[in-house]
């Protein structure tokens, strides 16, 4: 039933789905069909040249002259299809008109007598010599157009035109048409040979199998084209869904979500670095700007911070008003997660320095960024329900990283690292602490929400002066 419905839709040009839902795919398919048509037309020109060469060698002059006109008509029909068919405008009538024109020309070339042949063979013999293969060739060429509708119309045109051509031959003088209903294998040998080799007989036993074979070939090709279009549509929709996910999630998370069969997915526990970055005093800046200007500043800042995360293989988990939350080592831990997190933080600070130099030229207030990073255990998983989910990082590590970013205000720092993060960094770099040479370790500090104090490493915030235009050289991580 589904196959019949699909075939009906292909023949009629309809679609069971809403037009608005499939308009984008329909336009893409029409463009592909147009390009496939151009390819098919090029192949048709090549076939016409090959056939003309074969006929010239086999028949010679002037017998081959009769078929040059038909080949020219085939070429002109192909030219008209390219001329009239446009990918932006679907013309359904072209899907059935030109197949019937082509098949009518092909049938006429086969069944009509050659006016240059002074000693023609019996008319039924024009149906032999494997001429049905030319009909099958056109059906196969139609499948290259990537339109099941065109294949079905070409097949239908082939059956009708070949039937009309056969009837035309059967009505010629001295031609007999019919078939023995008894098994010819039971006939005497001489009678059997006489029946089969009779050049004036159009045998129903040869006509029907050829028609049925053409129909089967066309149906199989149409199903194959529909199947390929369905697979292509699914692939396009999957890729579109993945791109839509990447707009709401980091590419790492989008890839993970696209492979989930369960809406809520599995829960993971792992160790990773969590980074929070936030603009200091942005509420006052927003009050001094129009809503459009405020959104413009946020877009510029978010773009720069997101680029720093992406360039260092991090996962941008979410935007938080005037800041971001990112993680390094999710959804899969890597060998240098803390190194990547620190490089991303340094890149964010450089981006803000560059932005502030541009803002200074425009006599705008400089922006200050605060960054806090912590390393520790995390729980990863989807939260929500079956209709709407959100990929979340949960655990004390997230809370501590957020607290460290907030503490940069009281510590007059632009970057604050936990001792757990530094310990993991030293382990990754095998004791190389060059990346921390411009940072200061503070005595154990109280962290809101934690029972024990924690040693913190800070990068002091430079004083904003007229000379402070260039950023400090960035320490490297080996």
Structure tokens at 289: 């700007």
Q: What is the pLDDT of residue 15?
A: 45
Can you give the pLDDT at residue 349?
Answer: 95
- Give me the residues of the chain with pLDDT under 50, please: 1-4, 7, 10-21, 181-182, 248, 261-264, 465-474, 476, 478
CATH number belonging to the domain at 251-460, selected among 3.40.50.170, 2.60.40.350, 3.10.580.10, 3.30.70.1230: 3.30.70.1230
**Residue 293: CA atoms inside 13 Å, Cβ hemisphere, count?**
10
Could you read off the pLDDT of 57-95 as tens digits, one per residue? Answer: 887 778 888 888 888 888 888 888 777 777 666 677 777
Q: Which pLDDT belongs to residue 129?
A: 64
The domain ranges of the chain are 2-246, 251-460
C-alpha distance across the termini of the chain, in Å: 65
Residue 425 to residue 476: CA distance in whole angstroms: 13
Report the distance separating Cα 332 and Cα 346, nearest Å. Answer: 23
pLDDT at 346 (0 to 100): 95
By C-alpha distance, which of 180, 163, 165, 166 is closest to 215? 163
Count Cβ neighbours within 10 Å for each residue of 186-225 and write b for 16 or more, e otherwise. Answer: eeeeeeeeeeeeeeebbbeebbeebbeebeebbbebbbeb
Beta strands in 315-388 (DSSP E): 315-320, 323-328, 368-384
| Close Cβ partners of 457 (under 8 Å, ≥ 6 residues apart) | 416, 417, 418, 419, 422, 436, 439, 440, 441, 442
Residue 201 has phi, psi (to 5 degrees) of -110, 130
Cα dihedral: 120, 122, 126, 130 (round 10)? -120
Structure tokens at 315: 């996962």
Residue 95: helix, strand or coil by DSSP?
helix
d(CA 137, CA 134): 5
Residue 239, pLDDT score: 62
3-state secondary structure (DSSP) of residue 90: coil
pTM above 0.85, yes or no: no
List all residues 6 or more positions away from 212 whose beta carbon is below 8 Å from its beta carbon.
none
Write the CA distances from 214 to 16, 37, 217, 220, integer angstroms: 28, 22, 5, 10
pLDDT of residue 318: 87
Give ∠ CA 408-410-412 in degrees, rounded to 5. Answer: 60
């Amino acid at each position: 039933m589904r196959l019949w419905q699909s075939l009906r839709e292909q023949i009629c040009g309809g679609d069971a789905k809403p037009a608005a839902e499939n308009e984008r795919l329909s336009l893409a398919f029409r463009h592909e069909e147009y390009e496939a048509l151009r390819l098919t037309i090029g192949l048709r020109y090549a076939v016409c040249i090959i056939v003309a060469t074969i006929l010239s060698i086999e028949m010679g002059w002037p017998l081959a002259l009769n078929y040059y006109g038909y080949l020219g008509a085939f070429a002109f029909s192909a030219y008209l299809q390219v001329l009239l068919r446009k990918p932006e405008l679907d013309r359904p009538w072209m899907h059935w008109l030109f197949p019937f024109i082509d098949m009518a020309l092909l049938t006429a070339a086969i069944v009509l007598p050659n006016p240059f042949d002074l000693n023609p063979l019996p008319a039924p013999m024009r149906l032999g010599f494997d001429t049905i293969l030319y009909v099958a060739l056109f059906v196969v060429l139609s499948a290259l157009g990537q339109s099941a509708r065109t294949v079905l119309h070409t097949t239908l045109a082939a059956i009708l035109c070949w039937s009309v051509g056969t009837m035309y031959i059967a009505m010629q003088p001295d031609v007999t048409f019919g078939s023995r209903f008894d098994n010819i294998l039971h006939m005497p040998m001489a009678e059997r040979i006489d029946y089969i080799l009779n050049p004036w007989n159009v045998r129903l036993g040869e006509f029907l199998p050829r028609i049925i074979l053409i129909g089967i070939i066309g149906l199989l090709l149409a199903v194959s084209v529909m199947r390929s279009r369905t697979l292509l549509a699914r692939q396009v929709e999957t890729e579109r869904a993945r791109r839509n996910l990447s707009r709401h999630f980091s590419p790492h998370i989008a890839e993970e979500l696209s492979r989930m069969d369960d809406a809520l997915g599995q829960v993971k526990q792992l160790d990773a670095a969590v980074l929070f970055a936030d603009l200091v005093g942005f509420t006052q800046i927003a009050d001094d700007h129009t809503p459009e200007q405020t959104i413009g500043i946020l877009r510029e800042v978010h773009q720069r911070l997101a680029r720093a995360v992406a360039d260092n293989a991090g996962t941008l988990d979410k935007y938080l008003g005037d800041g971001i939350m990112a993680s390094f080592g999710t959804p899969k831990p890597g060998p240098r997660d803390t190194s990547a997190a620190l490089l991303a933080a340094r890149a964010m600070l450089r981006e803000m320095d560059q932005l502030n130099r541009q803002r200074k030229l425009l006599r705008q207030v400089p922006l200050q960024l605060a960054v806090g990073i912590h390393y520790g255990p995390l729980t990863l998983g989807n939260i929500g329900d079956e209709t709407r989910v959100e990929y979340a990082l949960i655990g004390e590590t997230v809370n501590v990283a957020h607290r460290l970013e907030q503490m940069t205000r009281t510590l007059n720092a632009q970057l604050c690292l936990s001792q757990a993060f530094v310990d993991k960094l030293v382990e990754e770099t095998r004791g190389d602490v060059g990346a921390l040479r411009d940072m200061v370790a503070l005595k154990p500090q109280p962290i809101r929400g934690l029972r024990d104090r924690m040693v913190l490493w800070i990068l002091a915030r430079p004083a904003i002066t007229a000379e402070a235009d260039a950023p400090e050289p960035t320490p490297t991580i080996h």
